[in-house]
Amino acid sequence: MALDERWCQGQSGGMSGCQIVECLEEDGVVKFASRLADGARIESVILPIRGRTTVCVSSQVGCGRGCVFCATGALGFGRNLSPEEIVWQVQAARERQECRVDNIVFMGMGEPLDNLDSVVQAIRVMADPHGLDIAYRYITVSTAGHADGIRALGAFNLTNLRLAVSVNAAEDTLRDRLMPINRQYPLARLKAELLAFPKGKRGVILIEYVLLAGVNDSREQALQLARYVDGLPVRINVIAFNGASGSGFSAPAPEQVRRFCGWLVEEKLFVRERRSRGQGVLAACGMLGVGRLP
Ligand code: SF4
């Protein structure tokens, strides 16, 4: 791990008033924390993947959705970020890497569709040739299943914008428990909006499934997931829980992760086991906001 003092101390945000206050790097993954003009703190992550640079941005200070396995959810809701504060995270990452940013994912702190207007405004700046010039197809909005937000986002006609949905359970009783947003937008309502969402050229929705040992990793639950996505053009990312939130959940054994993926493949689904990189710097999925960096 190495702290990049020059970059951490040298970045401040011009109009946005943001400033990098801490950063940490491990295995090429960089997590940086920023202090906003009002003193609020957010975190963002830079992920180099196969020669391309992905930046994971936050859309809120904390999050009010309270998913029980998520460290950000445990922080509660602070406030929405402005478009400038969202775009600034990408700018800061670009200066750090001294190269262009190829992909942007809204998978940092917050439920992006709870801050739709700012997120859409930020996306437009990111995609504009006079802005960051990153095509919509390289920008992914990830939601916990905000059905009204998915419909509203679709209506903006941001052609080829990519949508990811964190599903984690394909049966309402369990999903109600893991992700309280499901009580507002049950699975059937969510699926109706996913079917209606404009898919763009690639025509695929990314389904994220965080595997929690003994909770949602059985064969029956894999089959439930397969039935749920039937009729939807999807790619499924299976991510082993990173075990960092102190939530009482634990990571499944690697062989169980492989078995779960195999059951989905048997159902003819396109599945990727996604390794959660950056755990040593608390930058992995569900770890933002876990604590201050050393
Ligand atoms: S998983 Fe996403 S929506 Fe759920 S609490 Fe965490 S940041 Fe919020």
Question: Which atom of ligand 1 is nearest to 288's Cα?
Answer: 7
Closest CA to 211 of 146, 282, 145, 273: 273
Residue 90 sits in a domain whose CATH number is 3.20.20.70
Question: Which atom of ligand 1 is nearest to 70's Cα?
Answer: 6
Distance 195 CA to ligand 1 centre (A): 22
Residue 157: what residue type?
N
- Asked if the structure places residue 289 within a domain, the reply is no
Query: Are 13 and 92 spatial neighbours (Cβ–Cβ below 8 Å)?
Result: yes
User: Following DSSP, what letter does each residue of the chain receive, concatenated?
Assistant: -B--HHHHHH-B-GGG--EEEEEEEETTEEEEEEE-TTS-EEEEEEEEETTEEEEE--SEEE-SS--TT-HHHHH-EEEEPPHHHHHHHHHHHHHHHTS---EEEE-SSS-GGGGHHHHHHHHHHHHSTTTT---GGGEEEEES--HHHHHHHHHT--TT-EEEEE-S-SSHHHHHHH-THHHHS-HHHHHHHHHHS--TTT--EEEEEEE-TTTS-SHHHHHHHHHHHTTS-EEEEEEE----S-SS--PPPHHHHHHHHHHHHHTT--EEE---TTGGGT-STT-TTS----
Question: Which atom of ligand 1 is nearest to 60's Cα?
Answer: 7
- Asked if the structure places residue 19 within a domain, the reply is yes
Q: How far apart are CA 231 and CA 88, in angstroms?
A: 38
Res 99: pLDDT: 76
Distance 98 CA to ligand 1 centre (A): 30
Distance 73 CA to ligand 1 centre (A): 5
Res 3: pLDDT: 41
User: Looking only at Cα atoms, what is the longest distance across the chain?
Assistant: 52
- Asked if the structure places residue 287 within a domain, the reply is no
Active site residue 255: no
Res 2: pLDDT: 41
- Asked if the structure places residue 293 within a domain, the reply is no
- The one catalytic residue among 8, 23, 63, 285: 285
- Residue 47: how many CB atoms within 10 A of its CB? 20
Cα separations (Å) of 21 from 211, 224, 273?
33, 44, 33
Res 274: pLDDT: 84
- Asked if the structure places residue 113 within a domain, the reply is yes
Residues with CB under 6 A from ligand 1: 63, 65-67, 70, 72-73, 109-111, 144, 166
Distance 63 CA to ligand 1 centre (A): 6
Which residue of 68, 75, 111 sits with most ligand 1 atoms within 8 Å of its CB, as the best mutation to test the pocket?
111
Structure tokens at 16: 């946005």
Which residue of 42, 45, 72 sits with most ligand 1 atoms within 8 Å of its CB, as the best mutation to test the pocket?
72
Count of residues making up the chain: 294
Host domain of residue 232: 5-281
Active site residue 267: no
Question: Which atom of ligand 1 is nearest to 63's Cα?
Answer: 8
Averaged pLDDT, groups of 10, the chain, 294 residues long:
48 69 89 95 91 94 94 93 96 85 95 98 97 95 97 95 96 98 98 94 89 97 98 95 77 96 98 77 63 46
Distance 67 CA to ligand 1 centre (A): 5
Enter the pTM of the model. Answer: 0.92
Question: Which atom of ligand 1 is nearest to 71's Cα?
Answer: 6
- Asked if the structure places residue 292 within a domain, the reply is no
Distance 284 CA to ligand 1 centre (A): 13
- Asked if the structure places residue 74 within a domain, the reply is yes
Res 8: pLDDT: 54
Res 10: pLDDT: 47
Res 17: pLDDT: 83
- The one catalytic residue among 43, 85, 111, 193: 43
Counting the structural domains of the chain, the total is 1
- Asked if the structure places residue 204 within a domain, the reply is yes
Res 7: pLDDT: 53
Give the residue whose CA is nearest to atom 7 of ligand 1: 110
Res 145: pLDDT: 97
